[in-house]
Structure 1
Amino acid sequence: MANMLLEKGVQFSFVCGVSAGASHTVNYLSRDPWRVKGAFTMLPDRIPEAGGFLSMLSGHGYFNADYDYWGCIEDGYMPFDWGSFSANPADLRIQSFAAETGETIVWSRADMPDLRELMDRVRASSTLPFLMKPIRIDGHTMYDGGLGRGAGIPVRLAEDRGFEKMVFVATRPAGYRKKPPSRSDRTLYKLLAQGMTPLYEAMVSRSERYNAELDHVAELERTGRALVIRPDEMPVKSTTIKTSELLRSYDLGYAQALRDWPRVERYLFG
């Protein structure tokens, strides 16, 4: 969807994202179609440096965040057009979660004056417990923004700014609901939280909060305040690192975006 919007010349005055959506946010604002696609399909070609089980066993995480968010820029494999990003006048918000306090942290452009600060915050918004090494920012250990307010659905970030119409690109098909954690899930969460009670509580309560936010999105959609783009199917998981599967997912999404463009155009431009 992001690349289709770029191809159609659609520019929003405000863009926000959580978790993988944080990467989509900054890549879209850099107006770089190659990176929009490559950031989610090309990094597996750099395994084990970019991640995988060998990376995990060596202490770098199943996804090597040190490489995936900064190393790949430094070595030129996945460059980021800071100049184009900086020239884009759109406002943005990226959300993360402070593990020790349970606080939802939201960053704007003012918090990201250079490329390293930007990528550190994109990483912080995307850090999956256990699978990725967390980063510390301003004294906080940061984890995936989906653990915070909205449980991974960022429409409140737009509402906070006073927007009454928005386009929301969802990652789950229509009718999806998260299941409550099982007893074994709770045991695993306690191990992953490593004594950080707010982190544990956020993981346990996420399904309930996520489903409540889905209800809120449905109400925004019903009243015309949101256009919701839901995938027909989601063939990959958050742990998928097989290039062929990621490319298939991208191609399916792009084809659907083209199909849905008339609906998007009507909503945006009447």
Structure 2
Amino acid sequence: MKTGLVLEGGGMRGVYTVGVLDAFTKHNFIPDYLIGVSAGASNGVSYISGQKGRALRTNTEYINDKRYLSFYNLLTKGSLFGMDFLYDELPKTIDPFDYDSFFANPCDFKVGVTNAETGEAEFYGKDSLRDGSTVLKASASIPLVAPVVEYKGRKYLDGGTSSPIPVNEALRDGCDKLIVILTRHRKFIKPAVRFQTFCSLVMRKYPAMMDLLKRHHIVYRENQKEVARLEKEGKAWVIAPEKPLVIDRFEKNKDKLLVAYRQGFIDGEKFLEKYRTEFEK
């Protein structure tokens, strides 16, 4: 049996996922495989490296530093999030990421990105981090508020745009049972993208990406239906906020972020108490 962990993105809402993962780490629960997109992938790597607390720190301790998240970044570097700060300075010097422990952990890893020129989802494995964090940066580069990231000669944007909940990739990789961590409540309905004229202007160099943005709400709904189908078939278990989180993807209120983290931690502990034996058969 191969157990896979599937992590949705969601920007700062990902702190809920961090809470779940820290609960898993506390109870020494590590799956065989982890796949994530955007913030899901960025938070998942610290779980695999065994650095409990690191993802919480990187999501909260620097949130009011303009290098982290600010309009100053958007005006000076073309990105609301400070991508160089998040994916270069933080993991290398400020709060070092333990690459050795990450690669030593037998848990497999995949990160999803969206090819900006085709609008298609692509996935990279664990070895992609031997080049540093560029692929994580690409996966979290939100269209319209972050620039395209080049990796291995291709241009990429946020992986959650093309594959918001990448359960099918996990199944293709041989997972028999999936634990899906969502950052939206189960009844969430994704709205269609607004300001399409503005979006088309910003994304004019990438028409396939613009087409994807226009139907992203449909893609998201299809992913939700697939998760529900797998759940009904006994192949997937879902952890999600019971109610909408009181934070959005660009949240800067540390107290609100900590509330979401604690809720994730509680939900993670409850999940293991109820279902852990399902993944140890």
| TM-score, length-scaled by structure 2 | 0.87
* Map of 1:57 onto structure 2: 75
Given candidates 11, 22, 28, the residue that maps to 1:3 is 22
* Map of 1:180 onto structure 2: 192
Aligned residues of 2:144 and 2:199 also touching (Cα < 8 A): no
1:255 matches 2:266:
yes
Aligned residues of 1:52 and 1:241 also touching (Cα < 8 A): no
How many angstroms apart in 2 are the aligned matches of 1:179 and 1:54?
28
1:213 matches 2:233:
no
Q: Offset at 1:60?
A: 4.8
* Map of 1:167 onto structure 2: 179
Letter in 2 for 1:228: V
Aligned residues of 2:112 and 2:124 also touching (Cα < 8 A): yes
RMSD of the TM alignment (CA)? 1.7
How many angstroms apart in 2 are the aligned matches of 1:230 and 1:37?
18
Q: Alpha-carbon deviations, 1:154-191, whole Å to 9, x = none? A: 1112111121211111111121121233xx43223212
Unaligned residue ranges in structure 2 (runs of 5+): 1-19
Larger RCO, structure (CA 8 Å, separation 6 or more): 2
Letter in 2 for 1:70: D
Q: Offset at 1:110?
A: 3.2
Aligned residues of 1:189 and 1:204 also touching (Cα < 8 A): no
Aligned pair count reads 261
Given candidates 136, 150, 160, the residue that maps to 1:136 is 150
Given candidates 9, 27, 37, the residue that maps to 2:46 is 27
Identity %: 25
Aligned residues of 2:103 and 2:126 also touching (Cα < 8 A): no
Aligned residues of 2:78 and 2:145 also touching (Cα < 8 A): no
Aligned residues of 2:24 and 2:269 also touching (Cα < 8 A): no
Distance 1:193 1:61, change over 3 A: same
Letter in 1 for 2:112: Q
Write out aligned runs for 1:92-111 (5 A): 92-111=109-128
Letter in 1 for 2:114: F
Write out aligned runs for 1:114-133 (5 A): 114=131, 116=132, 119-133=133-147
How many angstroms apart in 2 are the aligned matches of 1:162 and 1:129?
31
| TM-score, length-scaled by structure 1 | 0.90
How many angstroms apart in 2 are the aligned matches of 1:146 and 1:218?
18
How many angstroms apart in 1 are the aligned matches of 2:49 and 2:78?
28
How many angstroms apart in 2 are the aligned matches of 1:125 and 1:268?
29
How many angstroms apart in 1 are the aligned matches of 2:175 and 2:91?
34
How many angstroms apart in 2 are the aligned matches of 1:13 and 1:189?
39
1:241 matches 2:260:
no
* Map of 1:91 onto structure 2: 108
Q: Which moved more, 1:97-106 or 1:168-177?
A: 97-106
How many angstroms apart in 2 are the aligned matches of 1:264 and 1:191?
48
* Map of 1:72 onto structure 2: 90
How many angstroms apart in 2 are the aligned matches of 1:30 and 1:109?
12
* Map of 1:157 onto structure 2: 169
Aligned residues of 1:64 and 1:132 also touching (Cα < 8 A): no
How many angstroms apart in 2 are the aligned matches of 1:91 and 1:68?
23
